[in-house]
Every structure is written in C-alpha cells, then in structure tokens.
Structure 1
Amino acid sequence: MQTLRAESLTKTYGEKTLFKDLSFIINEHDRIGLIGTNGSGKTSLLNVLSQNDIDSTGDIITSKTYSIGYLKQQPVLDDSLSILEAVFAGTQDIFSTIRRYEQTLDNYSNHPEDPKAERQYMEAEAKMNEEDAWNAENDVKTILTQLKIKNVNQKVGTLSGGQKRRVGLAQVLIQSPDLLILDEPTNHLDFDSIEWLQEYLAKYKGALIFVTHDRYFLDQIANKIWELSFGNLYEYTGNYQDYLAQKAERVDREVASEHKRQKLYKQELAWMKKGAKARSTKQQARINRFNELKENVGNLQTDEDIDITLGQQRLGKKVIELKHANLSLNNKTILKDFSELIQRNERIGISGENGAGKSSLLNVISERLPLDSGELEIGETVKMAYYTQQTEEIPDDKRVINYLTDVGEHVTDDTGNKISVTELLEQFLFPKFMHGTLIRKLSGGEKRRLYLLKLLMQQPNVLLLDEPTNDLDISTLTVLEDYISHFNGTVITVSHDRYFLDKVADRLLIFDGNGKIERHVGMFTDYLKNQKQESKEAKDDSNKKQNKQSSGKIKEDNQEKPKKKKLTYAEQIEFDKLEKEIEELDEKISDLKDQMTSFGNDYDKLADTQVEIDKLNKESEQKMDRWEYLSEFME
C-alpha cells in the first residue's frame, strides 16, 4: 500500500505561524477534505505536501516511486502550446512515454528499413504496454469534453483564466498519481462538470486531498475531514455532515476542560497567595503544577462565528425592471428580447453554462455595461452593492483598518446602535493585531473577506454577488447565508455552488447560451433533478425510436459496406507480432501457476507470485484489446 507520511511540518508567514509540528499519514484510498478559515494555511499545506514550498520545515516521507499531482489555484501552463500539448507536457512518466512513442512511430514509418528505428519503435511500444498508455489520449479528450474544453488544438494563451484551470485539472487527472492534490477544483466548473468530477473522483484509485468551498462536493467525496485551526490540524472521520457533529462535540469537550482548568487555577492561586513555601517535596511539586497551569489557562482558541448585524436603507416597491433587453458580446448573443421584473425582498439565483452571459447580466443591472437595445429601470430608493469576481484595486501598502475607514469610522447595526470599524473587523475574524497589517500580507481569501465587509458597510438594500463561493471560506459563507436570510432587501447571486444556491435563492434564471434563459421556482437541486429526469426520458424516447426504425428497416442485398481503413506499415508489423506475444504471456502465466503449487505455506512467495501473475494478465489483456482493435482494419 502506497502512503505518504508527514513529520513535524511547520510553516510561518512573516510573524504568523500557519501551522506547527503537524504529523500525519495519508493512506491509499483516503479522500481528505481540507477546510479552515481564509488565511489558516490550507494552500500552504498543499504546497508543502506537493514539495512546492522551500521555506517550510519538517519531513515528507514516501517511496521512491510515489507520485503526486497538484492542481494549483493558478496552474502554470505554457501559452505557446495547444491544449492537448499542454496536457501532455507534464513531467509524469506516462506523458514522456506517449511523446516518445509518437516520435518513434513517425520515424519508423518514414524509415521502415532502418534497424535502429525499428528497435526504438519496439522499445517505445513495450513501454506503452507496460504503462497502459494506449488510451491516454482518448482519456484526455474525454476528460476535456466533460470539462467543456472542445477545441484541443486551441492555444493555451488564448484561454480565459477559468479555461486554463480546467486544462490544468485535466492534466493532473490524466496523470493518475498516487496522491492527487486539488485546490478548489470546482471553481469555474458548471454543474454538469461538477457532477461528472464527483463521479470520477469517487472511483479514483489513489489518495486524494482537496480544498473546496462546495459542501455538497465535500459530502459526496470526502471520507475524512481535516481542519486547520490556529496552527493545529484536527482530523475527523466521515464527510462534511459528520464533521459538523464531531467538531461540536470536540469544542464542547475543550470548553468544559478549560472551565475546569480555570476553576482549579483560582483555587491554586488562592493557595499561593497565602504564602506557600517549598518546605517539602509535595509543596514544591504543587508550586510547579501551579506554574504549569498558569501557562496553559486561558489559551483555548475556538473559531468564532462571523456576526453580520448591519442596518440598511429602506427599499421602495420599484427595484429593477428589464424590458425587451438585447445584448451581444463578441458576436455571441447574451440577452434576446429579455424582460424581467425584480421586486423587493426577492432572492434570485443565476446559473448555467460558462460564457453564457451570467456576469454580463449583473454588469447590465449595475449599469457597468449598456444594452444594445431595450430598457433598464432602477428604482429611486435602490442602493446597490456589487461583489464582483475580481476584487477592486487595493493599494498593497494600505493598512487593513484604513481600507475600511475610507467608508466611515462606524456604521449602525439593525437595531440602530453604532458599531466601530475595529469591532467590525473583529466580527469578521480580523483580530486586533491584524488591524494595522499591510494588505499585501493578507491571503487571497482574507482580501476577499475584507472586500465583502467594505461593501456591506455601505449598507446596501440591493446586493449583487458574482460567484461569491469561489474565494470565501465555508465559515464566511455560512454567515453570509444567514445574513442574506435576514436581509430586508433584494439579492441576486451568480453561482454554480449548489449548496449556496439552495440556501439563498428561491427562484432561478438558468442561462443555456445564445440568449436562451430558463426560469425555475424553487431549490437549485430540485431543478437539477428535474433536468436529469427530463434528459433520461428524452434519451429513452430516442432509443425507442431508433430501435423501432431499425427493426422496420429492410436491408438491401446490394447495400454498400463502408470501406475499412487500412493499417499503416508500422501497425501491420505490430499486428503480426501481437499474437505471438500473447501466447508467450499465457505460457508464462501457466508456468507461474504451476510453481505456486510447490510453495506450500510460504505466503510471501505466494503473494509475490500472484502479483506477477496479475501484472502479466493485465499486459495480456492490453495486447488482446490492441489486437482486436487492429484486426478491425485488416483487409
């Protein structure tokens, strides 16, 4: 069984210790969901595990053959390569094997009489068999199709950031490493691709550790939850729902223990104040215990809930109305004669295909993008806040507290009481020592949380959210969901996060592309179930129709048969050798089985021999599959 063992991992960032002395084992078939608040060190831990961090301390121990694949939030790809070339440009053995085979096949086809070219081709072919690489290119195309990447010859440099992430995801999936590390794999995926990825990872043979905000994804995939909190790593068995229950129990136990420590500390402090002297060994031991207790009491740290209790301005009856709106961008239809009345206190979720225009609709509503034709009417009482996918420009040398005091020194809560900026920052998990921190020292997620706080400080009554789950941690999302549920205004959210949409939206606009927009009332997961059922019924009807046409069709004797594709010269040579190679493998398997009868109770020899038989069986099956494939093109 392949494992990764970590010992005493420690990582600091400036004056902040992200984690200290972490030790753990990742076993084969582990499905680990890594969670924690923004800035707790999740991505840093992934970088350490993938050995992409040179500043951490501790040891990562694996076998020499242990392989790791890592999807970063920003994959590094060569812009000059095509998508297919970029996927096969990885350092994994299977990629170099495929590239080597293609080169030697081309050389052998051009020089069939050259013994050196023939030998190189045969070696490359054997390597393809050994690594089961024959179907890798087809696997890549399947994965890219499921991730909605259609033109595999398109240059990487022409792709959007979201498309590059999907290419990076395809690259690590096709590697099939012993440990697959994914940092926010569902970002920029639509719900079809997320569902496919769930099914793919559920069947994954190696170990998996991933960071995600998608709680449904965590529930479906994870069999362990690891939580980074205040430099410690807490391990829980089960999925996200199991984690919630187990964490509550852990916190209750720790709070009870802290209460006992504080009570004992008060007793011991009273004893010390009486003038305790080390006149005996027992008294000295008690003094030592007191000093140790003094060091530990009051050190319990627990994750606090982010409490958003901000007030807002009154919203009138007229909010937003679009009348016969039309919009095209880059020769693509976004809105086509689209009319929509958005009223006070509505909760609208927007989802659908990538690139279909969901963000463009928010840009239209926020008056950042003009319509080609039609009308947009905004109510006079509307005060809008727009949480965009890209955080506004923030000077790196600006301090956290100054960024917020640009809005105001204080705001009022929903009961009319004043809340200072300092109090707000603490409610948003920015402790006092961070208030003067330069913004450039914050993590990406902490910057997004600060940006959200600034928007809410403006006390809007219409809130536009564009993919808020991409960068906020689960704790922040949970409180944002609660804030929206008590928000006396209108909320319009673009998201692919099923859990988040189920919590915040009661009606949906689904963008299907080319200006087609569906409307649905109810939960997002109900919509997906309906779509899946309709798709299944349509497929069943289509199959019935095809079967009926097939059964009623009379085949003509003179019907021309499709011409078969001929084998290349190299493929003909390969085909001629395959039958003999298959026979030789079968003989080896038979000999090994005969040998096993003489091993008696020597379980080590029996186990090793069985492993060898399994390996030969797999190779034989591969060659048989290849023989069957090539035989289809024999004349």
Structure 2
Amino acid sequence: MQTLRAEALTKTYGEKTLFKDLDFIINEQDRIGLIGTNGSGKSSLLNVLSQEDIDSTGGIVTSKTYTIGYLKQQPELNEDLTILEAVFAGSQDVFNTIRRYEQTLENYSNHPDDPKAERQYLDAEAKMNEEDAWNAESDVKTILTQLKIDDVNQVVSTLSGGQKRRVGLAQVLIQSPDLLILDEPTNHLDFDSIEWLQEYLAKYKGALLFVTHDRYFLDQIANKIWELSFGELFEYTGNYQDYLAQKAERVDLEVAAEHKKQKLYKQELAWMKKGAKARTTKQQARINRFNDLKENVGNLQTEEDVDINLGQQRLGKKVIEIEDASLNLNNKIILSHFSELIQRNERIGISGENGAGKSSLLNVIADKLPLDSGTIEIGETVKMAYYTQQTEPIPDDKRVINYLTDVGEHVTDNTGNKISVTDLLEQFLFPKFMHGTLIRKLSGGEKRRLYLLKLLMQQPNVLLLDEPTNDLDISTLTVLEDYIAHFSGTVITVSHDRYFLDKVASRLLIFNGNGKIESYVGLFTDYLRKSADTQKVEKKKNHEQHLTEKKQEKDTSEGKAKKKLTYAEEIEYNDLEKEIDELDGQISELKEEMTHLGNDYDKLADTQVKIDELTRQSDEKIARWEYLSEYVE
C-alpha cells in the first residue's frame, strides 16, 4: 500500500504560525476534504505536501516511486503551447515516454536505414507498451471534452482564466498520481462538468486531498474531513455532514473541559491567596500544579461565526426592468430580445454554460456594459453593491482598517444601533492584532472577505454576487447565506455551486448559450434533476427515431430477407421491452444507492460491479430487440 507520512510539519508566514508540528498519514483510497477559514493555511499545507514550498520545517516520508499531482488555484502553463501540448508538458513518466516516442519516431522516419535510429524507436515503442501510454492522448481528449474544452489545438495564451484552470485540471488527472492534490477543483466548472468530475474521482484508485467550498461535492467525495484551525489539524471520519456533527461534539467537550479547568483554577487561586507555603512535598506539588494550570487556563480557541448584522436602505416597488435587450460580445450572442422584471425581495440565481454571458448580464445591470439594443431601468431607491469575480485594486501598503474607514467610521445594524469598524472586523474574523496589518500580508481569501465586508458596509438594498463561492471559505459562505435569508432587499447571484444556490435562490435563470435563457421557479437541485430526466427522455426518443429510420432504410434498400417473426420470437419480442425497462430500473436504483454509500468503498465497488453486469444484460437485450423489431408486421 502506497502511503505518505508527514512528521512535525510547521509553516510560518511572517509573524503568523499557520500550522505547527502536524503529524498525519495519507493512505490509498483516502478522500480527504481539507477545510478551514481563509488565511488558516490550507493552500500553504498543499504547497508543502507537493514540495512547492521549501521554507517549511518537518519531514515528508514516501517511497521513492510515490508520485504527487497538484492542481493549484493558478496553474502554471506555458503560454506558447497548444492545449494538448500543455497537458503533455508535465514531467511525469508517461509524458516523458510519449515525447520520447514521438522524437524517435520522427528520427526513424527521417533515417529508416539507420540501425541506431531503429533501435531507439523500438525501445521507445516497447516503453509505450509497458506504460500503456497509447491511450494517454485519447484519455486527455476525453477529459478535456468533459471539461468543455473542444479545440485542443488552441494556444494557451488565448484562453480565459477559467479555461486555463480546466486545462490544469486535465493535466493532473491524466497523470494518475498516487496522491492527487486539488485546490478548489470545481471553480469555473459548470454543473455538467462537476457531475462528471465527481464520478471520475469516485473511481480514482489513488489518494485524494482537496480543498473546496462546494459542500455537495464534499458530501459526495470525502470519506475524511481535515480541519485546519489555529495551527492545529483536526481529523474527522466521514463526509461534510458527518464533520458538522463530530465538530459540534468536539467543541462542546472542549468548552466543558475549559469550564471545569477554570473552576479548578479559581479554587486553587483562592488557596494560594491564603498564603500557601511549600512546607511539605504535597504542598509543593500542589503549588506546581497551580502554576501549570495558570499557564494553560483560558487558552481555548474556538472559531466564532462570522456575523453580518447590517441594515440597509428601504427599497421601493420598482427595482430592475429589462426590456427587449440584445447584446453581442466577440461575435457571440449573449442576450437576444431578453426581457425580465426583477422585483423587490427576489432571490434570483443565474447559472448555466461557461461563457454564455452570466457575468455580462450582471455587468449590464451594474451599468458597466452597454446593451446593443433594448432598455434597462433601475428604480430610484435602488442602492446597488456588486461583488465581482475580481477584487477591486487595493494598495498593498494600505492597512486593513484604513481600507474600511474610507467607507465610514461606523455603520448601523438592522436595529439601528451603531457598529464600529473595529467591531465589524472582529465579527469578520479579523482579530485586533490584524487591524493594522498591511493588506499585502493577507491571503487571497482574506482579501476577498475584506472586500465583501466593504461592500456590505455600504448598506445596499440590491446585491449582485458574481461567483462568491470561488474564494470565500465555508464558514463565511454559511453566514452569507444566513445574511441573504434575512436581507430585506433583492439578491442576484451567479454561481455553479449547487449547495449555495439551493440556499439563496428561489428563482433561476439558466444560460444555455447563443442567447437562450431558461427560467425556472424552484431549487437548483430540482432543476438539475428535472433537466436530467428530460435529457433521458429525449435520448430515448432520438434512439427510437434512429431505429425507425434504420428499419425504413433497410426495408427500402434490401427488402426483408426474413418475412415475419416465428411464434416463439413474437413472445420473446413482447417480453423484451418489459425486461429492458426492469433492468434500467434496477440500474437507476443502484446508482441512487451509490449516492448514499459515502465512504464505504467496498460497497461502492460491489455496487458498481452489479451495475456493469446489469448494463451488459440490458445492452444485449436492446440489441436483440432491435433485431426482432425489423420483422414486426
């Protein structure tokens, strides 16, 4: 069994200790979700494990053949290569093997009479066979297709940031390392790609360590949760739901133990104040215990919830009205005669295909992008805040508290009480010692949290959120969800995060590309389920149509060599459709069962074997039914 063992890992960043003396083991088939607040050191721990960070202390023990693949939040790709070349540009053995084979093949083609060139080519061909590298290019194309990248010859420099992340994801997936490390793998993926990635990782043979904000993804993939908090690593068994229950129990026990410790400290302090002297060995031991207790009491650190309790201005009846809007960008239709009435207190979620224009619609609403035609009217009482995917430029030498005092020294909460900037910062998990910190010392997630706080300090009554889950930690998202639930204004959110959209949106606009926008009332997961059912019906309809056309074509071109079915074949034909439906029903039930098996990989494997066998039987019966159907009168 391939394992990775960490011993006393420690990482400091300036004056801050991110983690200290961490010991753990990662085994094969571990599916570890790493969570923690922004700035707690999650990405730093990933960098240390992948040996990208050499400034940490401690040790990592693996076998000499142990391999690690790492998807960073910002993949490092050669901008001059094509997508396919960039994917194969890694240093992994399989990539080296493919490149060597291509080089020797070209040399041998140019010098077919050279024995040395022939020998090198044959050696390279044998290596391709040995490592099963022939399917690598085909596998890459399959992965890229599932990640919605179709033109593998496109140059990397022409890709968007989201497309580059998907290319980076394809690169690490094709490596099939012993340990696959993924930092926010669902960022910039639409729901079809996320669904595919879930299925891919569920079957992955190696170990997986990943950071994600997607709580549905955590529930589906993780069999362990690691929480990085105040420099310590807490390990939990199970998925995200299991973690929530186990963490609550752990915190309750720690709080109870701290309360007991403080009670004992008060008793011992009273004894010491009486003038206790070390006249006996027992008294000296008690004094020593008091000194130890004094050092440890009051040191319990727990993560407080981020509390967003801000008021907002009254919102009138008229909010946003879009009439007959059309917009083209880069020869692509974004909006086509689009009309929409957005009312007070609405919760609208926007999702759909990447590049279809979701963010562009927010830019139109925020008056950052003009329409080609049509109108958009904003109500007079609207006070809008727009949380964009890119944080506004912040001077690195500006201090945290000064960034907020540019908005004001204080704000009012929803009961009319004043809240100081200092109190707001503490509520947003910026302790007092960080208030004077230079912004350049903050992590990327901390900067995003600070940016969100500044927007909410403006006390808007219309909130535009563009992919907020991409950079905020789960605890901040949880409180943002609660804030939106109690927000007496209108919220419009662009996201692919199923959990987040289920919590914050009651109406959906689904961008299907080419200006086609579908409206749906209800939860996002209900929409996805309904959409999947519709696709299944459409697929069956297309299959039946194909069979009909095939039968008509055969009748026209060849006639019927076989005139009609025998009596036994008629009975078989009549039973086959029912048998196929029963098999498909069993397959659907087993697939549904798999979604509830969590981390029981033995049962998952057994269930997959059953599904494969039932699928084989169904395919055979469908083939037989297709054959017999050609002779039904």
How far does the alpha carbon of each residue in 1:496-543 deviate from its partner, in whole angstroms, 9 at most, with x for none?
Answer: 000000000000000111111000000001111111111111111111
2:581 corresponds to = none
Aligned twin of 1:287: 287
Q: Secondary structure at the match of 1:69?
A: strand
For residues 313 and 551 of structure 1, the distance between their equivalents in structure 2, rounded to whole angstroms, comes to 67
Q: Which residue matches 2:505?
A: 505
Q: Distance in 1 between matches of 2:122 and 2:494?
A: 54
Alignment partner, residue 485 of structure 2 = 485
Aligned ranges for residues 253-272 of structure 1 at < 5 Å?
253-272=253-272
Other structure's SS at 1:386 match: strand
Distance 1:155 1:438 in 2: 38
Question: What residue is the counterpart of 1:348 in the other structure?
Answer: 348
Provide the secondary structure at the position in 1 that maps to 2:133. coil
Deviations 1:455-476 (A, max 9, x none): 0000000000000000000000
- 1:62 maps to 62
CA distance in 1, matches of 2:430, 2:554: 76
Aligned match of 2:209: 209
* Residue segments in structure 1 that go unaligned for 5+ positions in a row: 560-635
Query: What letter matches 1:141 in structure 2?
Result: K
One-letter code of the match for 1:47? N
Partner of 1:617: none
Q: Offset of 1:555 from its aligned partner?
A: 7.7
Deviations 1:114-158 (CA, angstroms, capped at 9, x unpaired): 221221111111111111111000000000011111110111111
- What is the number of equivalent residue pairs in this alignment? 559
Task: Give the distance between the partners of 2:36 and 2:303, measured in 1 at CA.
Answer: 9
Per the TM alignment, residue 346 of structure 1 is displaced from its structure 2 partner at its CA by 0.1
Instruction: State the secondary structure of the residue aligned to 1:150.
Output: coil
Instruction: Give the Å deviation of 1:103.
Output: 1.7
Shift of 1:557: 8.8
Matches within 5 A, 1:5-44: 5-44=5-44
**Which residue identity does 2:395 align to in structure 1?**
P
Structure 1 position 173 matched with structure 2 position 173: yes
AA paired with 1:133? A
Q: Which residue in 1 is equivalent to 2:467?
A: 467
How far has the Cα of 1:556 moved from its partner?
8.8
Deviation, structure 1 residue 28: 0.5
Rounded to whole Å, the distance in 2 between the matches of 1:554 and 1:406 is 77
- Mapping for residues 24-423 of structure 1, pairs under 5 Å: 24-423=24-423
Alpha-carbon distance between aligned partners in 2 of 1:240 and 1:187, rounded to the nearest angstrom: 19
Cα deviation for residue 380 of structure 1 reads 0.4
Partners in 2 of 1:364 and 1:554 — Cα distance? 54
Q: Matched residue of 1:134: which SS?
A: helix
- CA deviation profile, 1:611-634 (whole Å, cap 9, x unmatched): xxxxxxxxxxxxxxxxxxxxxxxx
CA distance in 2, matches of 1:536, 1:106: 46
2-side partners of 1:286 and 1:116: how far apart? 83
Structure 2: distance between partners of 1:388 and 1:552: 56
Partners of 1:365 and 1:221 lie apart in 2 by 37
**Equivalent-residue separation in structure 1 for 2:204 and 2:14 (angstroms):** 37
- Name the counterpart of 1:548: 548
| Counterpart residue identity of residue 51, structure 1 | Q
Aligned-pair distance for 1:111? Answer: 3.0
Distance 1:101 1:186 in 2: 34
Classify the secondary structure of the residue corresponding to 2:554: coil
Paired with 1:346 and 1:409, the residues of 2 have a C-alpha distance of: 31
- The letter of the residue matching 1:290 is F
- The equivalent of 1:533 in structure 2 is 533
* In structure 1, distance between residues paired with 2:465 and 2:182: 25
The SS at the match of 1:303 is coil
Look up the match of 1:595.
none
Name the SS for the 1:10 alignment partner. strand
Shift of 1:558: 10
- Give the TM-score of the pair, scaled to structure 2: 0.87
Aligned CA distance change for structure 1 residues 557 and 463 (closer, same or farther; 3 Å): closer
Aligned to 1:618: none
For 2:562, the equivalent position in structure 1 comes to none
**Deviations along 1:322-355, whole A, 9 cap, x unmatched?**
0001111111111100000000000000001111
Give the distance between the partners of 1:385 and 1:556, measured in 2 at CA. 66
* Secondary structure in 1 matching 2:134: coil
Deviation at 1:99, TM superposition (A): 0.8
In the TM superposition, what is the alpha-carbon distance from 1:550 to its structure 2 partner? Answer: 2.5
Q: State the Cα deviation string for residues 590-615 of structure 1 (Å, max 9, x = none).
A: xxxxxxxxxxxxxxxxxxxxxxxxxx
Deviations 1:356-414 (A, max 9, x none): 11000000001111111111100000000000000001111111001000100000000
Letter of the 1:171 partner, please give it. Q
CA-to-aligned-CA distance 1:149-194 (integer Å, 9 cap, x gap): 1110111111111111110000000000000000000001111111
Cα distance in structure 1, aligned partners of 2:69 and 2:368? 40
Match of 2:523 in 1: 523
1:627 aligns with: none
Q: Give me the whole-angstrom Cα distance separating, in 2, the residues matched to 1:240 and 1:327.
A: 41
When the two chains are superposed, the root-mean-square deviation of aligned CA atoms in Å is 1.2
- The residue type paired with residue 208 of structure 1 is L
Q: Measure, in 2, the Cα distance between the counterparts of 1:450 and 1:220.
A: 31
Deviations 1:30-53 (A, max 9, x none): 000000000000000000000010
Report SS of the residue matched to 1:371: coil
- The secondary structure found in structure 2 opposite 1:513 is coil
The separation in 1 between residues aligned to 2:303 and 2:532, in whole angstroms, is 39
Q: Which residue type is aligned with residue 365 of structure 2?
A: I
Return the TM-score normalized by structure 1. Answer: 0.87
